[in-house]
Amino acid sequence: MIQHFRPALVLLLLFTALTGLAYPFAIAGVASVAFPSQAGGSLMVHDGTVIGSALIGQNFASEVYFQPRPSATNTPDPADSSKTIDAPYNAANSSGSNLGPTSKALVDRVKAAAEAKLAAGWKAPLPADAFTTSASGLDPEISPQNALAQVPLVAEARGLDEAKLRALVAARTHGRWLGLIGEPRVNVLALNIALDALE
């Protein structure tokens, strides 16, 4: 056993230096030159301020904006650090709801949200992504159906023409990659920036 000690120790140190330091630093070096924006997190900057990342969803509470999917992320409770409180789109602590298909908490949550939307004028069938939390809690996108369902409320809150908003949603809808891969979707942050620019 002891004759294995030297090769084990030396190779562990060499591979730590190679794969643990040289490799990630080299990738970071090349990335910062070749793909600086992506390497830095695809940040969106307006007038010198970072307003978010193109890839990370953010919370919109006001009805003058299109709403992202519900988010299950949380944050430690400032009053009692052993507990957590809801903090949607907390990009420092990604998380899904992890509620199973027969969870009463899941069904009650969807029921309350669905009843509220139906009362506000949405028609069944309701877009499923508007009532289900994403896996990361940071999903930046919604389905085109979801965006279109929100048009009347946003139009009313902003006093804008519905047709104009529908055209905006259509222009901001990304199809499948190569027409084949993934799903059609709308980035909520980009849509809302375009919405602000409309006025």
Partner 1 sequence: MTLNGWLQISLVLGLVLVAIRPLGLYMAAVFDGHRTFASVVLGPVERGFYRLAGVSPDKEQNWLAYTLAMLMFSALGFASLYAILRLQAFLPLNPQGFDGVPPDLAFNTTISFLTNTNWQAYGGETTMSHFSQMAGLAVHNFLSAATGIALALAVTRAFSRASAATIGNFWVDLTRSTLYVLLPLAVVVALLFVASGVPQTLDGSVDATTLEGAKQSIALGPLASQEAIKQLGTNGGGFFNANAAHPFENPNAFSNILQIWSMLTVSAALLVMFGKMVGSERQGWALCGAVGAILLGGVAIIYASETAGNPLLTALGLDPAQGNLEGKEIRFGQALTALYVAVTTGLSCGAVNAMHDSLTPLGGMIPLILMQLGEVLPGGVGSGLYGMVVFAILSVFIAGLMVGRTPEFLGKKIEAREIKLAVLAVLILPLAILGFSAVAAVLPSALSSLANNGPHGLSEILYAYTSSAGNNGSAFAGLSANTPWWNTTTAIAMTLGRFGYVVPVMAMAGSIAAKKKGAASAGTFPTDGGLFVGLLVGVILIVGGLQFFPALALGPIVEHVLMLAGKTF
Of 152-171, which residues contact partner 1 (CB under 8 A)?
A: none
Q: Taking the CB of residue 155, how many other CB atoms lie within 10 A of it? A: 16
Backbone angles phi, psi at 164, to 5 degrees: -65, -40
- Taking CB under 8 A as the criterion, which residues in 120-149 touch partner 1? 124-129, 131-143, 145
- What is the C-alpha separation between 126 and 186, in angstroms, rounded? 17
Residues recorded for the chain: 199
Q: Give the side-chain half-sphere CA count within 13 A for 154.
A: 25
Tell whether residue 67 is a contact of partner 1 (CB under 8 A).
no
In the numeric block, the tokens 């809801």 are attached to 86
Tell whether residue 96 is a contact of partner 1 (CB under 8 A).
yes
Tell whether residue 119 is a contact of partner 1 (CB under 8 A).
no
Between 8 and 79, CB nearer to partner 1: 8
Tell whether residue 79 is a contact of partner 1 (CB under 8 A).
no
Between 164 and 176, CB nearer to partner 1: 176
Tell whether residue 85 is a contact of partner 1 (CB under 8 A).
no
